Structure 1
Amino acid sequence: MRTADVLVIAAYVAGLTAIGLRFSRRQNTTDEYFVGGRSIPGWATGLSLLATIITSVTFIAYPGSSYAGNWSLMVPGLLFVGVLALTGRIIVPFFRHVVQMSVYEYFGHRFGRGVRLYASLAFAAGHFSKMAFVFYLLALTLAGMTGWPVQWIIPVTAAITIFYTLLGGLKAVVWSDVVQGFVLWAGILVSLGYLLFLPAQGPRTMLADVWEHGKMSLGSTAFRFDQPTITVLVIYGFFFYLQKYTADQTVVQRYLIAKSDKSALRGIALGAGLCIPVWAAFMLIGSLLWSFYRVTGEQLPKTITRPDQVFPHFLLTHLPPGLAGLFIAALLGAAMAMLASDMNCFSVIATEDFYRLARPRSTDRERLRMGRVTVVACGIAASLMAMQLAHSAGSALSLYYTLTSVVAGGLAGLFLLAFLVPRATRAGAVAGLVAGLLLTLWGVLTENGKILNLGRWNFTWHDYMLGALGNLAVLGVGLAASVMLPGMPRARDLTWQGWRHRRLSMAAAPVSNLSTHFTYSIDREP
């Protein structure tokens, strides 16, 4: 590493630390710590969503994917905006007026405490394993670019992230995300500028070369489900982002922090809209990398054996001192933004979905202390798991990641059952979740006979289809079981039909204080 690069990275890390210290004195209540006092501007909410979605994996995976193939990974991303356009005006204000801090409160209102705890545990398990992978992959990438040892990149990154998240709460997370958004765009523009203008042939030749060779194609238009065709990617993207908007605490928490419904919706729309050009920019970087080494004739070293190694190699060999450090800072910031967001979300879940239910008479100060302890505990645990991954080559954790992905699947289907089916019951929800789990587990184990070969009973479609099928199983079996099994539906006013009537009454008599909109008390939940 060159001195200028190290100084840029150090300045960025110091800035994050300063943000945590800046907000540390104001974190005296759970409302302030978990949802920022519900006072975050809409534009900051949008940039925070952008930083939460664009992780450090995006920096490496997207350029690597387009370098090796095409822009097919962009197709699911387009559904991030598409799903919001279909559901945003309903979903965003709905959650702002129905839940206080945890999205899983809603499942408790409709289906009882057991379903609520399952949903929150499933989310936590999946995101915890993702945190460990991000710690590890970030350390692996930085080690390759800087020469720094993985063994201390992981704990140092964890310590910095825990520090500003612990002290500053969600406000520190959001405003560090805002800084990350600007650093991210600066790094992208610098990289694109060098890829377009560094070759003597000029930007027109570079762009024409990638276009003529199909490096900007979105994939196959064939109507088949055993390959990652555009059809499969659209289906996958729809259910993936439907689950993000309806059952992912990191996203729903962004609804709750805004000053008003309108501000929240505008902020979420801004964040979703910004994700598309960022993904496209990373895809273009990968395509231009392919053209760069083809047009210039420059040879990659033999140590570059994977497509995701090409972009880091280009940064270190062609960007001047300081600018490479800027991009490394953006990479580091993207990882820390996602990790900080997850740590704060875990503290919400642990406090609101478990601690508060177990101790309904606990004080706000006690719950705040529980939230802070959770931030530290989950950060340390994820970094330790990442360290274990670095020593074990990842086989055990890969299996854990697969299993938690199976368990976390189906939450979008659970939301559809709760929101669209007034007669859905607790028994129906449980039956649907079991069906979704079994179907997804069967698909993972028998996919083309890789793990378990059942011959004609193997799952032969592409694995991207598993999420969609699992969610449809939860919805379909849940509806059928609600009709066939005994039980009475609960909180039917918290369905689509009930919400429409409620919105009409709220429009007739607007209320300025958001807290008065909550119909259900967490302490009264059966």
Structure 2
Amino acid sequence: MKPVLGVIDYTIIIAVLLITLYFGLRYARNQNSTQSYFAAKGRVPAWAIGMSLLATLISSVTFLGYPGEGYSNNWILLVQGLMVPIVLLGAIWFIVPLYRKVIGLSTYEYFEKRFGTVARYYSSIAFVLRQFSGMGTVFFLLAVALSNMTGGNTFAIIIVTGLIIIAVNLMGGIEAVIWLDVFQGFMLFASGIVCLVVLLFSIKGGPAEIWNVASAGGRTGFGPYDLNFTKLTFIVMAINGMFYAIQKYGTDQTVVQRYLTAKTDKAAIRASLLGISLTVPVWTLFMFIGTCLFVYYKQHPLPGSVNPNGVFPYFIITQLPTGVVGFILSAMISAAICSLSADLNSLAAVGVEDYYKKISPNRPDKQYLKGGRIMVVVSGLLSMGIGMLYTSIGNEGVLGVVFTLYAIFSGGIVGIFLLGLFSARANRQGINIAIIVCVIFTAYAFLTSTPVGTGESKTLLLDLGKYNFTHHKLMLGVYSHLVVIVVGYVASLFFPKPVLDKNLLYSGWRENSRQEKLEAEQV
């Protein structure tokens, strides 16, 4: 791909980067405590938090990964996202007020209050591993795309982007991150719609031709639909998507932290509903762009050197006019910056609440704030290093890899969360046993299903013959949650029933809701 960016394009990109730094400076004066730095003390309106939730889940993985999948496959990987509103529209009403009532800042404080320190640190470590793997992927995708489109060095792109992200977090905290998310959200929508409109008018035959060619090429639908857990099927993605929805919106610090920034429970719920309602259309938009790209390059043959993840950047750089290219690249960069900024802030929040305050309790808040900023820098540098590692070894089908890593690092977290919410009988001892069994199961499944080597010399990390784990890796995450639910509940029966704060349970939320309703009617 020959870089053809003009002066206007570079001017737009530099302007967006300067705006990004402005957000950090704009809110720097408010960051004088850990609560302000990590939770904004209720200064952010619900609609902005909703846009921030959208931007938190939308990154370079969406901007580049979804078009790449839409170009090379059908829409099966979109099924996971489609399950989000189905699951959460029935659950967000009690998840949000529960967290706002029982935790200070860290999501995993709930796990400790419900099941003790082992559950807290197990879930916290799993979150950290997921975040670093995901952040490295975002850096990788952004660096490869921009390198192909501008001719820049991939390592230099990662370094510059990473330093800007660290600077924004150091100065402005979560408040700057949220308002930057709002700015990025509008850019993302606009850039996606521009690209889609250009594609629709560039394809001979219009929407009817897109459907016909895409259908003939196997780029429509969500199949295969057979009941087979050994390969990627609709049922595998649907089941995985249900657990993904609960894990992301019920146990992920980057999302739960947004609930805490709202002024009231109702505002937090409105923000969540807005974020949920916007996320699926954005995922769908970029997946459909990939489908259109497949049809477009059937009519205009693509150079053989362009891989699926590079098709969308190639189209942008070769088919869009100067200025528009700069705007879309800016949206791509902004998407990465916003997602990574949210991740950094959340990692630092977990580092302070789950580790620093435990190791060094009763210190002045300013010391914890300083520690949080140090963690932002360290986490940012580590993520940049992981991104550089990815660019060195290369990677294909990034979206599938991200989903697989997410499944592996799930580690039964949803199982712990669901038992905590719905079972008053589940206790600390039972969950600790379940965690041990889950770790053993995850290690077994990963080792007996992961090949190493090349060509005919490929072997499994651990070959147990007919006892190997043969199901699709996305099911590994599902099974880990089920293992924790079953083992955790059964093991709990051998130990005394715990004495619980009713606010930690779904039944407690229902009781409080009924009481509030009765009091309102009496007034």
Deviation at 1:493, TM superposition (A): 4.6
Show the counterpart of 1:481.
Answer: 491
In structure 1, runs of 5+ residues without a counterpart are 511-526
Q: CA 1:509–1:113 in structure 2 vs 1: closer, same or farther (change >3 Å)?
A: farther
Q: 2 CA distance for matches of 1:116 and 1:286?
A: 40
Deviation at 1:318, TM superposition (A): 0.3
Q: In structure 1, the residue corresponding to 2:508 is in which secondary structure? A: helix
Deviation at 1:386, TM superposition (A): 2.6
Show the counterpart of 1:102.
Answer: 106
Q: Deviations over 1:281-324 (max 9, x none)?
A: 11111111111122x3x2212321x2222111111110000111
Q: Deviations over 1:323-356 (max 9, x none)?
A: 1111111111111111101110011111111122
Q: Which of 485, 490, 512 does residue 502 from structure 1 map onto?
A: 512
Q: Deviations over 1:1-41 (max 9, x none)?
A: 22121111111111111111100011112111111112321
Show the counterpart of 2:412.
Answer: 410
Structure 1 stretch displaced more, 361-370 or 228-237: 361-370
Q: Does 1:206 align with 2:210?
A: yes
Deviation at 1:113, TM superposition (A): 2.3
Show the counterpart of 2:425.
Answer: 423
Q: Does 1:226 align with 2:201?
A: no
Show the counterpart of 1:453.
Answer: 463
RMSD: 2.4
Q: Which of 112, 116, 119 does residue 116 from structure 2 map onto?
A: 112
Deviation at 1:278, TM superposition (A): 0.8
Corresponding letter in the other structure for 1:495: L
Deviation at 1:457, TM superposition (A): 0.8
Q: TM-score, normalised by structure 1?
A: 0.91
Q: In structure 2, the residue corresponding to 1:110 is in which secondary structure? A: helix
Show the counterpart of 1:519.
Answer: none
Q: 2 CA distance for matches of 1:153 and 1:507?
A: 55
Kept in 2: contact 1:199–1:292 (CA 8 A): yes
Q: 2 CA distance for matches of 1:164 and 1:46?
A: 20
Show the counterpart of 1:61.
Answer: 65
Corresponding letter in the other structure for 1:220: P
Q: CA 1:84–1:292 in structure 2 vs 1: closer, same or farther (change >3 Å)?
A: same
Deviation at 1:489, TM superposition (A): 5.0
Corresponding letter in the other structure for 2:319: H
Q: Does 1:217 align with 2:227?
A: no
Q: 2 CA distance for matches of 1:464 and 1:385?
A: 22
Q: Which of 252, 275, 282 does residue 271 from structure 1 map onto?
A: 275
Structure 1 stretch displaced more, 78-87 or 130-139: 130-139
Q: In structure 1, the residue corresponding to 2:167 is in which secondary structure? A: helix
Q: 2 CA distance for matches of 1:116 and 1:199?
A: 53
Show the counterpart of 2:336.
Answer: 335
Kept in 2: contact 1:424–1:479 (CA 8 A): yes
Kept in 1: contact 2:426–2:497 (CA 8 A): no
Q: Which of 438, 443, 446 does residue 444 from structure 1 map onto?
A: 446
Show the counterpart of 2:455.
Answer: none
Show the counterpart of 2:456.
Answer: none
Q: Which of 255, 259, 266 does residue 259 from structure 2 map onto?
A: 255
Equivalence map 1:135-284=2 (5 Å) = 135-211=139-215, 213-284=217-288
Deviation at 1:180, TM superposition (A): 0.4
Q: Does 1:75 align with 2:79?
A: yes
Q: CA 1:308–1:393 in structure 2 vs 1: closer, same or farther (change >3 Å)?
A: closer
Q: 2 CA distance for matches of 1:279 and 1:258?
A: 25
Structure 1 stretch displaced more, 227-236 or 448-457: 448-457
Q: In structure 1, the residue corresponding to 2:47 is in which secondary structure? A: helix
Kept in 2: contact 1:111–1:490 (CA 8 A): no
Q: 2 CA distance for matches of 1:71 and 1:92?
A: 31
Q: 2 CA distance for matches of 1:251 and 1:403?
A: 19
Q: 2 CA distance for matches of 1:193 and 1:394?
A: 30
Show the counterpart of 2:478.
Answer: 468
Structure 1 stretch displaced more, 261-270 or 494-503: 494-503
Q: Which of 127, 130, 152 does residue 131 from structure 2 map onto?
A: 127
Deviation at 1:503, TM superposition (A): 3.6
Show the counterpart of 2:320.
Answer: 319
Identical residues among aligned pairs (%): 39
Kept in 1: contact 2:427–2:497 (CA 8 A): yes
Q: How many residues align?
A: 505
Q: Deviations over 1:230-258 (max 9, x none)?
A: 11111010011111122100011111111
